[in-house]
Structure 1
Amino acid sequence: MKKWLVTLVLFLAVGLLAACGGGDTEEGTDNAGKASESKEIELGATAGPYSDMLSKAIIPSLEEKGYTVKLTEFSDYIQPNNALDNGDIDANLFQHTIYLEDFAEKNNMDLTPLIIVPTAPMGIYSNVYNSLDEVKDGATIAIPNDPTNAARAFNTLQDAGLITVSKDADPLTVSEKDIEENPKNLEFQPIEAGQLPRAVDSSDLSAVPGNFAIAASMDLLDALQLENMDDRYRNVVAVKTDNKDSQLAKDIIEIVESEDFEKIIDEEFKGFGKPTWMTER
């Protein structure tokens, strides 16, 4: 009897351990599987149209692909890249390629533009004239006082036929000294870019960058002339260079290149200029 009881106890004990072990193995597999499928990410943007572009045109599609996405908004143009470089966010959207490359070089960061997105262009606005054909001799025009945006303003004025820039001038660094013809004798008034929306009331014309125009609740389509933007001035989704071939990077590119993305841009971001890859496909 004692031997039978000992045998029975040992049998039950082994069965119990086997059951427990099997349960642990199965749960571990489940947990490992869940961990491997985890797609919790964080994206960053400056508050405004590019934060809206993420929330309306990119994040919903990422969520459809199984990602859990947190969106962080920044109030300056420095912290988004610091956060990306530190690994606090996985990608950001707020800057063009020229700014990104310059910032990364000066701050010893290894960041990469992933894909160019539609961008709010600079526009020539006026509360005095209804068209550029009405511009009178000696008209005043407020332009950005920083070299990068000033070059964009002069390029836009040339496209509008108001000035002629030297053919030898680099489009990225055009300045007033590169102007060869100014038939309307425009008087340029350089001011801080953020003040240009207000200058629409104090000058005959004002060259307002798209982000500042939107921040001031201006309609991009009210511009007398919109910038024919160089792709290097269009905003990009940026990532750390080490992550440029990651699955997240591939998914973001796929989403931005989709017809659904372009449809949302056409409906929600009227006046935004599309990059070359989008207009020529």
Structure 2
Amino acid sequence: MKKWLKASLLLAIVAVLLAACGGKGASGGDSKNIKIGATVGPYSDMVNQAIKPLLEKKGYKIEVVEFNDYIQPNKNLANKSLDANLFQHIVYMKKFAEDNKMDLTALISVPTAPMGIYSKKFTSIDQIADGSTIAVANDPTNLARTLGLLQDAGLVKVNPNIDPATASEKDVTDNPHNFKIEPIEGAQLARTLDSADVVAIPGNFALAAKLDLTTALKLENMPENYRNQVVVRTDEADSQLAKDLKEVVESADFEKVIDDKFKGFSKPDWMKNR
């Protein structure tokens, strides 16, 4: 009986020690079991094709969770249902985290599909007729980018002090061609190509709709702060997972997948300049 009790006690101690060695994955168990969230389309593809295989070589078991909106990936990350996500630029992340009292940290930027101006009615910027309807994203951060793109294309002039957190159509200061700016839900933009004269579509939505980036009348010269980021909770920013995520994104193997399978994506400065 005493031997049995000693054996049971020893097994219990070993179990506790093993549990203590585990990390803090989304499930609260072994840190090698990881959930990464991404929006459906190019960024879930990027996780599946470029990040997941490289992390698996490091011994991780990866589950990719796909989302159809920009709200749930951060909420699921904050409540620890996810360990990381990839879908957003840093301007959006900071605003969302502030509004929702979340502690999120961007680890590293990734190659990002640029926003573009598309049309089935016109084949060049110069052809766009006065009074045309231009459909744009209705969320402030994407709208700020869109207005900047329209200005770069010479279509409108925009408030030089535009705030990406609160941008609206009122930030158009000069509209000499009387374009009708029509904000709609970003995920619906590609569907309006048959009805709107011109549509400004963020790159991820364009690719999700099977649009060829090279058919855009104009692509944006993407600012660094609008490139998508791998994001984690701030309390995990120095974790081994965070270090491994950053390492695989910085690897030559990751860039090779981008070059092979994500043509037209705009690379961040750190990748172009190394």
The normalised TM-score by structure 2 is 0.81
Query: 1:261-280 residue pairs with structure 2 within 5 A?
Result: 261-280=254-273
User: Whole-Å Cα distance in 1 between the matches of residues 162 and 268 of structure 2?
Assistant: 23
Alignment-derived partner of residue 237 in structure 2: 244
Alignment-derived partner of residue 194 in structure 1: 187
Count of matched residue positions in the alignment of Structure 1 and Structure 2: 258
Structure 2 runs not aligned, ≥5 long = 24-29
- 8 A Cα contact 1:152 1:172, kept in partner: no
Which deviates more from structure 2 when the two are superposed, residues 179-188 or residues 255-264?
179-188
* Cα distance per residue 1:99-157 (max 9 Å; x no partner): 22222223322221111112222210011111112223333322223332222111001
Report how far residue 172 of structure 1 moved. Answer: 6.0
**2:97 equivalent to 1:101:** no
SS in 1 for 2:182: strand
Q: What letter matches 2:48 in structure 1? A: S
**Cα gap change, 1:279/1:172 in structure 2, threshold over 3 Å: closer, same or farther?**
farther
Alignment-derived partner of residue 249 in structure 2: 256
Task: Tell me which of 190, 212, 217 is aligned to 1:224.
Answer: 217
* Cα distance per residue 1:219-275 (max 9 Å; x no partner): 222111112223332221111111111111111111111222122112212222222
User: Whole-Å Cα distance in 1 between the matches of residues 200 and 77 of structure 2?
Assistant: 31
* Matched-pair identity in %: 57
Which deviates more from structure 2 when the two are superposed, residues 137-146 or residues 262-271?
137-146
RMSD after superposition:
3.0
- 8 A Cα contact 1:155 1:171, kept in partner: no
Alignment-derived partner of residue 50 in structure 2: 57
- 8 A Cα contact 2:140 2:164, kept in partner: no
User: Whole-Å Cα distance in 2 between the matches of residues 89 and 194 of structure 1?
Assistant: 23
- 8 A Cα contact 2:113 2:266, kept in partner: yes
- 8 A Cα contact 2:43 2:204, kept in partner: no
Report how far residue 56 of structure 1 moved. Answer: 0.5
* Cα distance per residue 1:186-242 (max 9 Å; x no partner): 332333323321222222211112222222222222111112223332221111111
**Cα gap change, 1:78/1:204 in structure 2, threshold over 3 Å: closer, same or farther?**
closer
User: Whole-Å Cα distance in 2 between the matches of residues 192 and 70 of structure 1?
Assistant: 28
Q: What letter matches 1:154 in structure 2? A: L
- 8 A Cα contact 1:43 1:92, kept in partner: yes
User: Whole-Å Cα distance in 1 between the matches of residues 189 and 65 of structure 2?
Assistant: 27
- 8 A Cα contact 2:144 2:163, kept in partner: no
User: Whole-Å Cα distance in 1 between the matches of residues 109 and 238 of structure 2?
Assistant: 16
User: Whole-Å Cα distance in 2 between the matches of residues 47 and 258 of structure 1?
Assistant: 24
- 8 A Cα contact 1:118 1:275, kept in partner: yes
The normalised TM-score by structure 1 is 0.79
Structure 1 runs not aligned, ≥5 long = 1-16
User: Whole-Å Cα distance in 2 between the matches of residues 184 and 199 of structure 1?
Assistant: 21
User: Whole-Å Cα distance in 2 between the matches of residues 70 and 168 of structure 1?
Assistant: 42
Alignment-derived partner of residue 151 in structure 1: 144
User: Whole-Å Cα distance in 2 between the matches of residues 73 and 170 of structure 1?
Assistant: 30
Report how far residue 36 of structure 1 moved. Answer: 6.4
Q: What letter matches 2:41 in structure 1? A: G
SS in 1 for 2:82: coil
Give the structure with the larger helix fraction: 1
Q: Which has the larger radius of gyration?
A: 1
User: Whole-Å Cα distance in 2 between the matches of residues 127 and 222 of structure 1?
Assistant: 10
